Amino acid sequence: MIYSIWILLIIGFGVVYFTYPEVSSPEYITNFIQRFSGEMLLIYTLISLIRGFFLIPSTPFVIAGGLLFPDQLFWVLLISMIGIMSSATALYYFSDLLGFSSYLNAKFPTKIEKMKSRMGNSRSIFFIAGWSFFPFVPTDLICYVTGILKTPYKNVFAGVFVGELILCTFYVYFGASIFSFL
């Protein structure tokens, strides 16, 4: 059921993209933002909340939020963190629904047991925080794996929160300056 909804949404977005390619052009996006400037923070919030369900990385959205709302950087950071933490929570709790846990347990039983013992203690927070802070690896992946391994949720939440808060703070407050050098 979930696979069907997910696949239908991706197909729907693909059909819109190929049928109306102009919706992804910079001019269209600029006009859309100008036309709905009063509602853009709400739209940004909604996009930040649903982004994780499509496994889309948060980095472009966090940087874009800082660029779109330079006078509301704290709100961009707060909205981004709420979106990231909600998708992390969903991936953690719904990891078994995707069915990979039984496959991984059958294929790598000794590695899974070793990872369970490592990720089951309070030091796992540091590993998860480091993973979440490193910008070139998807945080969604560690949330999915920790859900399969049944790592204590409080460790996952704390690790993702600390790692992503540091990274997102950098993106929000210094993201515009990154583009000024390019």
SS3 163: helix
Higher pLDDT: 114 or 159? It is 159
> In 3D, which of 170, 127, 171 has the Cα closest to residue 146?
127
Q: Which two tokens stand for residue 74?
A: 């704290």
Q: What is the reported pTM?
A: 0.76
The gap from C-alpha 51 to its chain's centroid, in whole angstroms, comes to 6
Q: What is the pLDDT of residue 111?
A: 74
Q: What is the pLDDT of residue 55?
A: 75
How many Å is the Cα radius of gyration of the chain? 18
Of all residues in the chain, the percent with pLDDT exceeding 90 is: 26
Per-residue confidence band for 3, with pLDDT thresholds at 50, 70 and 90 = low
> What pLDDT digit, counting tens, does each position of 56-94 carry?
888 888 988 888 888 889 999 999 999 999 999 988 888
Q: Which two tokens stand for residue 11?
A: 């197909």
CB 39 within 8 A of CB 46: no
Cα 182 from Cα 166, distance rounded (Å) = 23
